[in-house]
Amino acid sequence: MCSEKDYIKSNRSLMFNFEIQSHTRSFFNEAGEIKFDPPVYEQRYALALRILEHELFTDHIKTVVDFGTAEMALIPMIKQIEHIHKVVAVDIERKILETHLDRAKPYLSDHIKTRANQFSVEVYEGSISEPDPSVIGIDVVLAIEIIEHVFPVTLNDIPYNIFGVLCPKVVLITTPNSEFNVLFELPLENGFRHYDHKFEWTRRQFKDWSFNICERFPNYLVSFFGAGIAPPDYLKLGPVTQIALFVRKDVLDQELVSPIVMNEKYPSNYKLVHKEQFPFNIDERSKEEKVLDEAKYHINRLKRFELYLNAEQTHAQIPVIAVFQFVENLVDSSSEMVAILNANDIQVKDEFIVVEIEEEDYDDGSMGSLGSLYDYETRGGYSDDDCDEAAGRNQEDGVTEIFHNLNLQDDEEVWD
């Protein structure tokens, strides 16, 4: 057998360069058990999301199919990606799909803060090896920890269905790296990590399978990486999960070997379990209107703070920066915001927005006190009464928090 370096060199024409950083670690606990931080299932999902958000693909992908979706854990995460408009979730286990259908439906937060464009979810009982009109022409195929669960006859059909019929732009396939198993205690009779696994491949076997796909379907190139890095002394084993990323050549600005032909005349092999259209609101305002509306809201709020009032309490002088922080995602600079304010008869003088205090500002009893303002300043955020909206808008939706909200079981860290 040739060396790994020579092996990769001989197949270089089937590969493309792709790098993605992963700040994770693995270690042995006091009991001598290997642990991953974060858990490997989280790392796989996070990498899938980062692929969907990667700048190389954002202009090319709008639809995703998640084969072997099971509990549909990815859907609540994918729906936050604005350029993804549709997710199709497919699994052969209808009961599992029906049990977790809530994840395919809008949450209360989806109605409160609607998307800026369409997003729909379709859930099907079906197989990754069978073509179906509902997924033909889909942009992205996700096959996370599924191929090791299928029998050889099904495995043989998968590449043809994905690369020959569906013809997606991006395909992400993950599977266990059997070389890593020496670090696990595997009590199962089949010698694998999970009782339902039909095989577990070495890195060379997975690469052979992937390179064969690129030879059979020459419109695709592949790149390899993984999730679950080994502890420092065992890096030669590779990652616990190996990943192949296939990308269609036209996405990489390369010429296709053959034209993409979509044949949608296949019979409907999938059975619809659920279909959902999420609420959305298309904002048709111009850029200037968006900036002006947002700025006016915060000007009207901030002018109520006593700190910004003149001695006669007839005018408020609000620092430009105090308003700019709320619209900086809409403009290139504070000067652009100031120009928009001036064009709409809002006075800006010496880095201050000058606004007249109206009589009703006193009548409604809502003038802010110095105490509430100082509370706002010292906390570096909004006062409780004034800024619930912006506080919600500034909240970060971390992937880890989403995982915890999904209530996935800790035993998922059993690496499967």
The verdict on 152 and 294 lying in the same domain is no
- Conformational region of residue 393, where left means phi above 0, alpha means psi within -120 to 50, and beta covers everything else: alpha
Distance between CA atoms of 113 and 391, rounded to whole angstroms? 13
The verdict on 366 and 380 lying in the same domain is yes
| 405 domain residue, yes or no | no
Q: Tokens in use for 307?
A: 């700190």
Q: Name the pTM for this structure.
A: 0.75
Tell whether the model's pLDDT for residue 298 goes beyond 60: yes
What is the domain count for the chain? 2
- DSSP assignment of 10-35: HTGGGB---------EEEE-TTS-EE
Q: What is the pLDDT of residues 230-286, one digit of tens each?
A: 999 999 999 999 999 999 999 999 999 999 988 768 889 999 999 999 999 888 899
| 153 domain residue, yes or no | yes
| 210 domain residue, yes or no | yes
Q: How many residues does the chain have?
A: 416
Tell whether the model's pLDDT for residue 15 goes beyond 70: yes
Tell whether the model's pLDDT for residue 63 goes beyond 60: yes
Q: Tokens in use for 373?
A: 């303002």
Whole domain around residue 336: which residue ranges? 287-385
- Confidence tier at 21 by pLDDT (50, 70, 90): confident
- Beta strand 34-37 pairing with 63-67: unpaired
Mean pLDDT of the chain: 88
The verdict on 320 and 336 lying in the same domain is yes
Distance between CA atoms of 249 and 129, rounded to whole angstroms? 23
The verdict on 263 and 292 lying in the same domain is no
The answer for residues whose C-beta is within 8 angstroms of residue 371's C-beta and 6 or more apart is: none
The verdict on 317 and 230 lying in the same domain is no
| 314 domain residue, yes or no | yes
Q: What is the pLDDT of residues 74-115, one digit of tens each?
A: 999 999 999 999 999 999 999 999 999 999 999 999 999 899
The confidence score (pLDDT) of residue 371 equals 38
| 409 domain residue, yes or no | no
| 410 domain residue, yes or no | no
The verdict on 199 and 311 lying in the same domain is no
| 403 domain residue, yes or no | no
The verdict on 228 and 367 lying in the same domain is no
The verdict on 81 and 14 lying in the same domain is yes
280 strand-pairing partners: 115
The verdict on 91 and 204 lying in the same domain is yes
- Confidence tier at 361 by pLDDT (50, 70, 90): low
- Lowest mean pLDDT: which of 19-23, 155-159, 171-175, 288-292? 19-23
Q: What is the pLDDT of residues 205-232, one digit of tens each?
A: 999 999 999 999 999 999 999 999 999 9
The verdict on 248 and 352 lying in the same domain is no
Q: What is the pLDDT of residues 116-152, one digit of tens each?
A: 899 999 999 999 999 999 999 999 999 999 999 999 9
Task: Assess whether the previous peptide bond of 133 is cis (omega < 30° from 0).
Answer: no
Burial (CB < 10 A; 0-12, 13-18, 19+), residue 253, is exposed
Calculate the alpha carbon distances from 112 to 108, 115, 176, 272, 280 in Å.
Answer: 6, 10, 40, 28, 10
- Confidence tier at 3 by pLDDT (50, 70, 90): confident
How large a percentage of the chain has pLDDT more than 90? 75
The verdict on 89 and 104 lying in the same domain is yes
| 220 domain residue, yes or no | yes
Tell whether the model's pLDDT for residue 370 goes beyond 70: no
CATH assignment of the domain containing 39: 3.40.50.150
Q: Tokens in use for 395?
A: 């909240």
Answer with the one of 282, 313, 346 that is the final residue of a domain: 282
- Confidence tier at 323 by pLDDT (50, 70, 90): very high
Maximal CA-CA distance, the chain: 88
The confidence score (pLDDT) of residue 262 equals 81
Contact 223, 16 (CB under 8 A): yes
The verdict on 203 and 105 lying in the same domain is yes
Q: Which residue has the higher pLDDT, 190 or 213?
A: 213
